[in-house]
Structure 1
């Protein structure tokens, strides 16, 4: 067995009988369990296909002594036991590898089998891909939260959850640097933006607490983003305003004097309560800047995760159905 993992094993057995027919044909059935190795392509893991080649050669006998040939069919699957992780797509001859080897002027016969396998996807979709996608969808919503402490707690929780799944998936992916797994690239990108969201939240908190005046460039940037995002100052940032009218007059009844036999005397007076003035709609603070920026980042992060996920799923689907 040329592709054996353990060693270059010899297909032989001391007590295996040989059958001789009246025509002089001698037949001998040889059997043995072998562990063979295959070069693994992990680019499309866990929706991958693998092609393995099993090669048998006559290293100790020349082609004139033993000539290896295929029967029809080339592989008998009558005793094949169904595997829970892999399914056989096709199996048969590999003519391109059936080359007669020459050594010291002698020719040696060889045959090769081609085995194409496809990984069963149900287990990996339910336990790896689907949970990772759902956790990734939570990342943009950190920009919809209010307090900075809540944002940081939420971001760290999502980041740690993602890190756990990355570790679990990395343990199941075959260790090789010959090809890069697309799922690993996807997880790395999502893990990166999850980490980036924490830095953005911390930096946004620092900027929102600034008390100096906003520069004209930042003011123009905020106004432009408000128009692009179609949000007003209050609806976008969740701020509450007090609507008041300086001309509004409230009438209150003020009791004057003491109560006598004829009753108390009351008089009407005009009372103008203290109202906060309208905020200047043209005024922009650093809190407004951070608020509008959060709305923009929510859209950017959400579209990034959706786009990368769709690209990954489309590549998987095309490869799996080929």
Structure 2
């Protein structure tokens, strides 16, 4: 059993990366584990700090530090890291976040025994110092909707961004470079939508909080890149919906679901028809469970990112 954790980093605070790496060293996975840290063109000071973090981590597990010349973006950094990885399973971790101790163990077991291509987990959002839980995102509802509507225009992948943080996949199930570098940010949404269209029931959910997302004040959601992130996602979702409908589509974000914290999107065809998902109440921006199963409770706290 082998697994790789890929961590792209671009001038993230060294203390954050050190904590991310420590969470990798604390994994309960009993197979062969390696870390691949990709420095995506960080400055010299950051790179020196990253080398020291990697040097210390190598005492516990194999660690590769790959440096990309020039800041190429998350998609390229992830692709480079995946290319350098040797594990059967790849887990993606942002350099300012943390994995729960059983994340790799449970992800590898799910991918190994089920034949799934990709699995995703529940996650929690924490304050920058990790002391406060801002919200917990439970995703069982989305998995039920995915099992009902994957590959169709009502696919929840096209109407809500819920899969990000955390996902893991089998290396032999995806292309060698699965992320599209033409998108500076938001590129993972394209992979998720394509997987849902081409292999709609090859995506599974681990209903445990296995990822700790840090509300990094220097992160994308607090930067000038945030509007670009939204535009990228809208462009990706519009292209995927157009592919499924066979006509041009305009897509716009309509808000964030208070119950699940997922961003929600509305699609309009060139002829003016609105593509509405049967599980979305657009007036209240809420998601309903159409599977006939009870909807789980969700914690809620209003927030922007």
Q: Would the TM-score normalized by the shorter structure come out above 0.5?
A: no
- TM-score bracket, normalised by the shorter chain, equals under 0.3
Greater gyration radius: 1
Q: Which protein has the bigger helix share?
A: 1
Give the TM-score of the pair, scaled to structure 2. 0.18
Give the TM-score of the pair, scaled to structure 1. 0.17
